[in-house]
Structure 1
Amino acid sequence: MTHAPTHPIKLGGVHHAAYRCKDAKETVEWYDRVLGMEYTSAFSEDTVPSTGEHDPYMHVFLDAGNGNVLAFFELPTQKEMGRDENTPAWVQHLAFRVGSEEELLAAKDHITAQGVDVLGPTHHGIFKSIYFFDPNGHRVELAADIGTEEQYAELKRVAMPMLEEWSRTKKAPRHADWLHSANE
């Protein structure tokens, strides 16, 4: 699957990703204290601009670095937020890049010192990650890339055969077994 250079849509990156939160102020303070994300702006309305529905909300925006923005909605008149009980808690998550394995380990120490339970680091072959939950129950991952250019090129090369095999068998393809052979 390749896109022609004449595709009509030219994306410029992610403008923002938005999730629901239980308490906007608590969420802003947590992301600042735990991850150092700067609170940059907010929108608050009683009527949803895109639908015209009366549904008061606070929409807060946090700087996630490199022009990436993470946003949250607090919806006080909606039912209490939950999660998709049909999807394991480890599946849906927010993943942020850190610059090195050393930064990842320092982040783990800092986050643990904030009273947050941290899992990892977990070795994924081309990156290592730590995992924890924010006060809203969203799983957060910090990842440090450790792969080589050759490894990334090989992963790109086997991406389509892996997808095709998965689509056909619904079993984990073995095209990239080498990724986990070097686990520490």
Structure 2
Amino acid sequence: MLVQKIHHVAYRCKDALQTARWYEQHLDMKLVLCIAEDTVPSTGEADPYMHIFIDAGQGNILAFFELPTQPEMGRDPNTPVWTQHLALEVGSMDELLAAKQRLQNAGIEPRPRTADWSWSTTP
């Protein structure tokens, strides 16, 4: 089997609506699908959730789960903060600098890295 592409990558979020609005407002990524269920389809387990899918362009999907009945999420204390990140590619340096400025205008301060920029925020 040769994988053709990644359908989506999913993360957990605290608030699906707030997360979707953040990505649309700051990165122009549109919400394309919401799924709300009371049970997990693969296990039948009772565990209400909201699963959202955000268009990241060129067939890429970024997804999030809101899990309202589960304990609050945290970070893996054994994994350094700098290793867990999402890297997004834009079309040009001008687009990158414009995005950086929009984020700074919204109070989100970028952290420079070697050849790119990453932003530290919790949507």
TM-score clears 0.5? yes
Match of 1:46 among 12, 19, 38: 38
How much does 1:93 deviate?
Answer: 0.9
3-state SS of 1:84 partner: coil
Q: Which runs of no fewer than 5 residues in structure 2 stay unpaired?
A: none
Q: Deviation at 1:10?
A: 2.2
**Corresponding residue for residue 88 of structure 1:** 80
Name the counterpart of 1:134.
Answer: 121
C-alpha RMSD over aligned residues: 1.1
1:71-110 counterparts in 2 under 5 A?
Answer: 71-110=63-102
With a CA cutoff of 8 Å and minimum separation of 6, indicate the structure with the bigger relative contact order.
2
In structure 1, what is the equivalent of residue 6 of structure 2? 14
Contact 2:111 2:120 in 1 (8 A): no
Aligned equivalent of 1:26, options 8, 18, 25: 18
* Distance (whole Å) between structure 1 residues aligned to residue 45 and residue 120 of structure 2: 31
Runs of 4+ in 1 over 3 A off after TM superposition: none
SS in 2 for 1:58: strand
TM-score, structure 1 length as denominator?
0.64
Q: Which amino acid aligns with 2:8?
A: H
Q: What SS class does the counterpart of residue 90 from structure 1 fall into? A: helix
**Identity %, equivalent residues:** 54
TM-score normalized by the length of structure 2:
0.95
Q: Which structure has the greater CA radius of gyration?
A: 1
Could you give the per-residue CA deviations for residues 17-37 of structure 1, whole angstroms, max 9, x where no partner exists?
000000001100000001110
- Structure with the largest fraction of helix: 1
TM-aligned CA deviation for residue 53 of structure 1: 0.8
Alignment of 1:55-70 (within 5 A): 55-70=47-62
Shift of 1:132: 1.5
Measure the CA separation in 1 of the matches of 2:39 and 2:120: 31
